[in-house]
Chains A and B, each alone.
Chain A
């Protein structure tokens, strides 16, 4: 027995009448007209929407992945106590078991004297670099007690997205697609958008691992074709393209009639979707048609915010069009050096568009059914990384034992901050949330018992949360 129901057949006519309109429909109507004289191949939709284990709060997810690890100490988990130690090492008794990537336990403390303010009724606390979050403070569930197992980027990326430190397993987005299918018949169910430098794990963050490969995330690129090969070849007109697609379909229907192989029906459906993707992608990406106010809100008129803001706006447009999972990555957060300059720059690029996204989703009534997650793969150390010698250019090293993330939207309790870290920002002291717990909670919001969303591979039932993970009740409605 296959562990996953990969296909459900529909009659072609039902499908055409229910599919969203668009340029591709004329072509499909032609296909329909031809049916009278060739074998009818059933429509195969491998991503027919599926019901989860229980009624979900959210049906879509946007993961705002701040790759490289933003410094929680300088942004959302203030540690005034650190200033007392600034420039000195901590006593060995306090640091003896610590293990970092580059710095040693005897490194000097790097204090933070940025002004923090409490926002909204909930009093969510952010430093001045995140003032743009003021209007969304009451929509968030801030988790200051995140912790993970890995102290290096790649393994930490992997455990955050696959539940396990080594590459090779399916990622969060693939699991969700596997569990829920997709609502879109014109676009991939799992899309990745990215900005920033030094993306460490690349496609491993949206890989389908050992799930069937059509569960992998599709990267919309910044240069060239947004989706690989989504544009017609040079010199091939839209009409030529349509006719060639039709000829392929006609030949395939002939072969289906001869061999009766359902894979051919599946191929016909894939080609139809490919053609619809070609037709609908330009429309999706055409943000110029958004009202001026919307463009301003997302920062499309400003150089600093344009690229990331466009991705946030696209994320909303994708969710509107039935895409199940959108990952919006900004990967420049690895501030070992020049923290003062570069951390601020990252906030300038991302904070405004993120606030715009939450407000926009809320205003459209989409936030209730969309889960939004913000954060990086780990946190940063209260001890400084002084590899350049001077304080002005200092930064912080990787810190696995505590960091901050936030969630908002479908199924999440808004306007709360949970978890506490000690006065120096070394360890979690209240309500620890391991990345596997976060995964369990995310899946819960989408209607899944994380222990039951499994896939048999190499003789074992695998799941996103590996062998751990508990739903954090405090975070959910």
Chain B
């Protein structure tokens, strides 16, 4: 009843204020389960449709169930009995529908005919329930305890200090505490010792690394482009760097949003703001021969649109690519109106030199140009190049005339970005970069067009090697993948059934009609501002819910990615709204929300399972305890490297390729996994090169997404391949060896204790100690004993779990 009341408040239905039956919560689920199959979004037998208000009202007379056809049908009192076959509706459902009709048939609308999901109602700032209980530490606890008390459930005791410390380290910086850090926390008797640790961790530069990972899943960040060839994107990391910095600086979420979606459109946009738009460049692409480039571009626009919907609105707007959304108020037209914001996005690889690069580049640029021009003229390619270009232009104008040139053009247009446009410019109009790209492709791949003989006669292969060597010799400028706006606006069309080539009506940029209207402008910047405007009920809720998920293993809305009608409802709707409004009102600070959550008594509870809760709340939705969950892939690696003393904890920079087994790279079409040497191979998991089609095995085995599309919630699986990975992967074997060595070096006595302190931030129990002693009592060498133990500790559930 309480829950019902909350939801009732939330949906903001003003009519029939005494109604106990709510459409969204009580009625819609019945109609969906019993009736939609024949009278829903997909099928309307007999012309009857029960998911839209106007249609429903044809069979419902508000306030009068006996006069309502719907009631007659489900009770079988009229001519037609529904459902026509099978058992009738259970009596409680009939009663609910009757009560709903009699109380006025409330329908949570705002001008549309489809029912609005709960999440479309404005965010409120509910008053904190009045709770007098010493357990409570902040407002979050009042909301939790009010509910628990109403159910006569006691919250769990506070977690042991060591457990709590390891938890908050894992949650805030993604690394376990060292034994010294544990000791100093235990010894700190000040009442705010815990809050002090929290503040230290929030200020740590590792905080940004931990939280960037979660955002990079959403942003479908990768170091390769997907598709058949899956070529590397050597400067994708510039965007990752931006994300890490933004989290560390606690960039307000509204600014964080605007810079990523439309940083390039800000007045006097700086390089950093442009790099932020790399968000849009994380889409996959395809360079497969014979693929239509317009189709690829369309798919990228679809992805950009769906991603905005998923990340900020928590809605599956992608469903509306092909048809009106079946459950949420997003029409097909809405999808294409949203897509129209991106229609004029041009991909731009921006020169964005790293500190120190510019000066030295300038110094040598002229010399490089001279050398390059000389090489090209030495090899006398001018005539062949001109006729090759003519051949390509001819193929473009007259497809089918000469099959070999068709293939050459296809390959050129896939390999050289903006190739068509460059080819149609006169050489004198091309920038150096454009001309170089075209010439490099000619040198590498023109044999199909100009013919093998000519290609060999000109020694183009040799020239290619020399050009490469020259380029390697001279300093280069780092670039960043960004977007810019084309000056000319092309129209966006609805695509019939979502098929890229079948254009329907033209649409203008616009936001979904069921949400508050767009203000001031119709470009990406306007969209970004709209997403973080106060009127938008979704962004703040969706965002704080994801922060909650990171700290409890599940969101207050479990389906972090779906706040629509098919998603789950919030378990604590008032708390969610309270957090969302605090978030907005206090300047969109993510660190502030995180701090609020981790300093609550709710967060600080023990996570042990409780027999009394197993039956009434097995999924821990009431939060009468914390949760225990396996660490994500990257943090498993980080923890093992940290406790073994191998971790290289430097922050930022390009991605690394740690050693991986023979055969992983071979899987990928033409992949070259140049192993990272020296200590950089021990960098954190966040920096592992994300090769989309051949993911690093640890990432693959431990549920990291392949970053094809946005991911708001990772699976947490538990598989034998994970066990093989941790037992036998050389990097984990090395970590175990190193940990063993560390134990032997650093702990002259009480070595088992020390091992436990390093790995679990606690001491072993007497039984655990016995168990290990009997394991070690096996006549092996000292090293072998401690290696075996170290290996077992790194594989134990406790090590892989944040408790």
Contact = CB atoms under 8 A, between A and B. Distances in A.
27 contacts: A102-B290, A105-B400, A152-B286, A153-B288, A213-B703, A222-B663, A228-B724, A229-B725, A229-B729, A233-B728, A244-B727, A244-B791, A244-B795, A250-B771, A251-B792, A255-B798, A256-B797, A260-B608, A260-B609, A260-B611, A270-B720, A270-B722, A270-B723, A274-B727, A275-B723, A458-B316, A459-B316
Contacts of A251: 768, 771, 792-793, 796-798
Interface stretch (B121-129, B510-518, B556-564): B556-564
Nearest to A165: B299
Given A202-B694, A212-B717, A225 B667 contact: no
A395 B630 CA distance: 52
Contacts of A102: 289-290, 403, 406-407, 410
A168 B669 contact: no
A247 B796 CA distance: 9
A372 to B, nearest CB: 25
Nearest to A257: B767
Return the 8 tightest CB-CB contacts between A and B, nearest first: A101-B290, A104-B400, A459-B566, A274-B723, A224-B662, A274-B720, A229-B728, A260-B609
A254 B792 contact: no
Contacts of A243: 775, 778, 788
Contacts of B715: 212-213
A204 B227 CA distance: 10
Interface in B690-744: 693-695, 697, 700-701, 703, 706, 708-709, 715, 717-725, 727-730, 733
Contacts of A166: 299
A151 B299 CA distance: 16
A103 interface: yes
Contacts of B667: 199, 202-203, 219
Contacts of B693: 201-204
Task: Give the contact-size bracket for chain A.
Answer: 35 or more
Interface string A235-256: 0100011011111101110111
A248 B723 CA distance: 10
A208 to B, nearest CB: 9
B728 A230 contact: yes
Contacts of B694: 202-203
A474 interface: no
Of B290, B310, B410, most buried by chain A (CB within 10 Å of CB) is B290
Nearest to B788: A244
Nearest to B796: A251
Contacts of B286: 152, 154
Interface in B264-321: 284, 286, 288-291, 299, 310, 316, 318-319
Given A152-B291, A223-B663, A263-B630, 8 more contacts: A104-B403, A188-B721, A203-B667, A228-B664, A241-B727, A258-B608, A386-B403, A389-B404
Contacts of B15: none
B792 A244 contact: yes
Nearest to B561: A458
Interface of B: 226-228, 284, 286, 288-291, 299, 310, 316, 318-319, 327-328, 399-400, 403-404, 406-407, 410, 448, 559, 561-562, 564-567, 607-609, 611, 628-630, 661-664, 666-669, 693-695, 697, 700-701, 703, 706, 708-709, 715, 717-725, 727-730, 733, 765, 767-768, 771-772, 775, 778, 784, 788-789, 791-793, 795-798, 800-801, 803
B669 A460 contact: no
Contacts of A459: 316, 319, 327-328, 559, 562, 564-567
A167 interface: yes
A350 interface: no
Interface in A358-415: 385-389, 397-398
Contacts of A203: 667, 693-695, 700
A277 interface: yes
A119 B590 CA distance: 72
Contacts of A275: 723
B718 A223 contact: no
A200 interface: yes
B319 to A, nearest CB: 6
A106 interface: yes
A231 B290 CA distance: 42
Contact of A278 (B288, B717, B724): B724
A318 interface: no
Contacts of A5: none
A475 interface: no
Contact of B228 (A101, A104, A154): A154
A274 B664 CA distance: 20
B288 A270 contact: no
A392 to B, nearest CB: 15
A387 B720 contact: no
Contact of A103 (B403, B720, B771): B403
Contact of A259 (B299, B708, B803): B803
A277 B724 contact: yes
B403 A167 contact: no
A258 B767 CA distance: 12
B719 A104 contact: no
Of A101, A228, A256, most buried by chain B (CB within 10 Å of CB) is A228
A100 B400 CA distance: 11
Contact of A263 (B291, B564, B628, B663): B628
Contact of A167 (B319, B669, B697, B708): B708
Interface string A195-229: 00011111110010000111000110111110111
Nearest to A276: B720
Contacts of B796: 248, 251-252, 255
Interface string A425-465: 00000000000000000000000000000001011100000
A230 B771 CA distance: 27
Contact of A266 (B226, B290, B718, B784): B718
Contacts of B284: 167
A267 interface: yes
Contacts of B310: 458
B313 to A, nearest CB: 12
A117 interface: no
Contacts of A223: 662-663, 666
Given A233-B733, A277-B724, A252 B797 contact: yes
Nearest to A221: B663
Contact of A154 (B288, B562, B717, B728): B288
B316 A460 contact: yes
B334 to A, nearest CB: 16
Given A227-B724, A229-B727, A199 B718 contact: no
Given A102-B406, A166-B299, A263-B718, A230 B662 contact: no
Contacts of B721: 188, 214, 218, 227-229, 274
Contacts of B709: 168
Contact of B775 (A105, A152, A247, A258): A247
Contacts of B448: 387
A247 B795 CA distance: 10
Nearest to A7: B718
Nearest to A389: B404
Nearest to B776: A247
Of A258, A261, A266, A456, most buried by chain B (CB within 10 Å of CB) is A261
A285 to B, nearest CB: 15
A203 B765 CA distance: 44
Given A243-B778, A244-B788, A248-B795, A225 B661 contact: yes
B288 A271 contact: no
A254 B319 contact: no
A273 interface: yes
A264 interface: yes
A152 B708 contact: no
Given A199-B669, A228-B721, A259-B609, A247 B788 contact: yes
Contact of A264 (B226, B772, B778, B797): B797
Contacts of B723: 270-271, 273-275
A476 interface: no
